[in-house]
Copies of this chain bind each other. A is one copy, B any other.
Amino acid sequence: MSSTTMTLDDCRALDREDPLRNLRDQFTLPEGVIYLDGNSLGVLPKSAPARIAEVVTKEWGEGLIRSWNTASWFDLPQRLGDKVARLIGAAPGEVVCTDSTSINLYKVLFAALSQVAQSGSNRKVVVSERSNFPTDLYIAESLCRERGFTLKLIEAADLAASLTDEVAVLMLTHVNYRTGAMHDMKAVTTAAHAAGALTVWDLAHSAGAVPVALNECDADFAVGCSYKYLNGGPGAPAFVWVHTRHAGQFEQPLSGWWGHAAPFEFTPHYRPAPGVSRYLCGTQPIVSLAGLECGLDTVLAAEAFNNGFGSMAALRTKSLALTDAFITLVEARCPDRFALVTPRDHAQRGSQVSLAMADAAEADANAAYAIVQALIARGVIGDFRAGDAQMPHILRFGFTPLYLGFEDVWHSVEHIVQVLETEEWKRPEFNRKNAVT
């Protein structure tokens, strides 16, 4: 259909034809909200309250210390890791759920730098993108300084040229948190390896959002977040994957007892567990891990629709259709008001759409910020990310195919149209100068 003729009825028809439409029933969605921020915090699986209550009252309250064995608390990082593995093209036993993304990045980047140093290489540069999520850069900055490496920040366009013979590690986030632009993991990994560099991938905006094939891409290390598209709950533990050719070979420095080969022998010297289990450190928050399992199961429920194309294929098809519809409707109904920041090319797009103000006079922080605030007041929850001299201020909208439909897209754009037409976004309460934070 052409952009001028896409109507609410068209969107309803797309929803009726959507094979994944019933997956939404897995979630509790608040009344009156269109939630376009699942890229920041995923929604509540209906199964989570009862499962978490069971862990609290039965496993903790009644089982007490016995539950480490009887409720298999000890195995949770590996058991949940095996579920994550199905979503990122990894094999059972290659992923553990533990700690935060930042901490896991520290572990794998440390291991990667150790491998480079131990190989006798003179490579002393870690390359990343200037627009990478800041915590990744902070961790790399500290680690590079400590280990005698240099962190070099580049623009995405300069990626190929940056892969010189000085580069030890290429550390990238697969899908950019601001723009939603996605790297070609296979091509980039192949280029990095050809240049003699290892790859570290952050899958924070990829896991559960786009197909990922870590083993097929021959990636080296990966970490990711569980509370965005994996619906694990606020601050649920992150995950870490290491290619089997590296997993058993290098020690990560957070050498706590959960990563020991025999933690309950209580021996005074560290002996790392085989494989990825050595990337565990201390005791994990069991109640939050229980919530994560409910979230993972909501995504894995989509496997039934995939016809052998990998666990994420059906979700990806719907995700692209949703973001296509949003782009089409915004451009048709708000002509010349927004510039599309997210790539139009499917191969380069994650599961979000980021917009900047098109008009130079409106491209200040306040217009983008205020429109997002006005939308939130109407129950359309996206978010604002401030820009700087090199990056525009953006309105960010995440599209989670598990619980969003085409009618949601239509209503979101309708609200944007109304916020603009009524100039409601110019109200003082939406002005960034009046923001409490």
Contact = CB atoms under 8 A, between A and B. Distances in A.
Interface of A: 28, 30, 33, 35, 37, 40-41, 43-44, 48-49, 52-53, 56-57, 59-62, 64-69, 73, 99-103, 106, 130, 132, 134-135, 137-139, 141-143, 146, 153, 225, 227, 233-238, 251, 253-258, 260, 263-270, 281-289, 291, 376, 381, 383, 385-386, 388, 436-437
Contact of A52 (B52, B64, B73, B238): B52
B283 A386 contact: no
A386 B255 CA distance: 22
A132 B257 CA distance: 13
A141 B260 CA distance: 13
Contact of A266 (B52, B376, B386, B437): B386
B102 A64 contact: no
A260 B30 contact: no
B49 A386 contact: no
A28 B57 CA distance: 9
Contacts of A67: 234
A237 B284 CA distance: 8
Contact of A56 (B60, B100, B291): B291
Contacts of A57: 28, 44, 49
A264 B33 contact: no
5 contacts: A135-B282, A235-B284, A235-B285, A265-B386, A286-B288
Contacts of A260: 134-135, 138
A142 B255 contact: yes
Contacts of A52: 52-53, 56, 287
Contact of A142 (B68, B141, B142, B251): B251
Given A57-B44, A285-B288, A287-B287, A62 B30 contact: yes
Contacts of A236: 285, 287
Contacts of A383: 65
Contacts of A134: 257, 260, 263, 266-268
B137 A268 contact: yes
A358 to B, nearest CB: 23
A103 B254 contact: yes
Contacts of A257: 102, 134-135, 138
